[in-house]
Amino acid sequence: MSDVAIAAMNASLRKLGNPSSLHTDGRATRKDVEDAREVIAHSIDCLPSEVIFTGSGTEADNAAIKGLFWYSKKKVILVSSIEHHAVLDPAHWLVEHEGAELIEIPVTATGIVDLVFLAEVVAKRAGEIALISVMHSNNETGVIQPIADIVKIAGDIPVHCDAVQSFTKVPLSFKNLGLFAMTISAHKVGGPLGIGALILRRAVELPPLLHGGGQERDIRSGTVNAPAIVAFAAAVAAHEYDAEKVQALREKFESGVLALRSDAVINGASAPRLPGISNITFPGTQSDSLLLLMDAEKVSCSTGAACSAGVHRPSHVLMAMGLSDVVAQSSLRFSFGATSTEADVDFALSVLPAVIERGLAAHSVGRR
């Protein structure tokens, strides 16, 4: 969490008023929340009334997928095969419990949704499609999706976009993209955990997931989490993310990796990508071994996916791009952010060769 967000949250935590109360204290907190809403709206080019605060990005995704399904009264849901589980799982839930039909839009080998496939499905079944949901950029590979093209193909069909990963990293305009709904989250942008937002087009009244006081446009009930909202906006307003600097760090890291391991593969390298994500396959290794060894060197990286018991699973994103389960399980994600430095990159590169050697040895005994 950024210093400005911590300061804003601390100041807000002292305020007594519930923003839904009518007395002076309540109105004071309400003003802070509405100021924050305007900051967020401005940052994403939407109307303040289109910002609905939620308890997480996952909640916003659920509200959008289930809400648009019920709102449209149609049966077919289209999502890309590389969506986050916060989108995939509610879609599968609707199939199991609400009679939905799910069509997954495949991606190319570079990780971009197949627009030809999408256009064909839309041409054949436009009248049956409840919604289309495609993420703005993928959380594992950083590959940026052609959302404007998707909205064009969709025509009148509502399109939702999970923009959690892209928000503040690349320019985003809710209005210009022509979306029905979009998801953002605070903790990815230097804000606190446990606060997100559903950006929902004006006058689209979705059936709510949570019923109660109707605090957020009658679509999301629950006491408004003013300190978290204020901190979210403070982090967004400060905008400490320097995309050019982060991209330079990633490029330095990737060229360093390729110089050390000529067999390493940067996944999605030829596609437009977020500045700070690098997904790399190290052939002949198992990424959970690499993670352990990197962690022991105080370098945090990620293996992509784990089941609820914590077992490392091949990434559905990499497999959708055509990688085999074995290759998918030898891939690691490295992230670079606002606080990353050249020294961090140099250090990660300095420990990498020994880690890969040990990872190769560990994998070869495992296959004996």
Active site residues: 307
Q: Could you tell me the smallest distance in angstroms from the CB atom of residue 366 to other proteins?
A: 6
Q: Could you tell me the smallest distance in angstroms from the CB atom of residue 337 to other proteins?
A: 22
Identify whether the C-beta of residue 232 lies closer than 8 Å to the C-beta of residue 41.
no
Q: Could you tell me the smallest distance in angstroms from the CB atom of residue 307 to other proteins?
A: 8
Q: Under 8 Å CB-to-CB from 20, ≥6 apart: which residues? A: 26, 30, 213, 215, 223, 224
Q: What is the dihedral of CA 223, 227, 231, 234, to 10 degrees?
A: 100
In the complex with other proteins, the residue whose CB is nearer, 211 or 298, is 298
368 near other proteins, rule: CB under 8 A: yes
Provide the residue type at 162 as one letter: D
Burial class (CB in 10 A: 0-12, 13-18, 19+), 82: buried
In the complex with other proteins, the residue whose CB is nearer, 324 or 341, is 324
The single residue listed with the structure tokens 């025509």 is 155
Q: Which helix (H) or strand (E) holds 306?
A: strand 305-306
User: What CA–CA distance (Å, rounded) separates 117 from 105?
Assistant: 7
Residues in 330-359 that interact with other proteins by CB under 8 A: 358-359
Bridging pattern class, strands 51-54 and 196-200 = antiparallel
Q: Could you tell me the smallest distance in angstroms from the CB atom of residue 260 to other proteins?
A: 19
Site size for other proteins, by CB under 8 A?
Answer: 22
Residues in 291-320 that interact with other proteins by CB under 8 A: 291-293, 295-296, 306-312
In the complex with other proteins, the residue whose CB is nearer, 343 or 365, is 365
Residues in 243-302 that interact with other proteins by CB under 8 A: 288-289, 291-293, 295-296
User: What CA–CA distance (Å, rounded) separates 151 from 302?
Assistant: 32
In the complex with other proteins, the residue whose CB is nearer, 239 or 358, is 358
In the complex with other proteins, the residue whose CB is nearer, 123 or 365, is 365
Q: Could you tell me the smallest distance in angstroms from the CB atom of residue 358 to other proteins?
A: 5
Chain residues binding other proteins by CB under 8 A are 288-289, 291-293, 295-296, 306-312, 358-359, 361-362, 364-366, 368
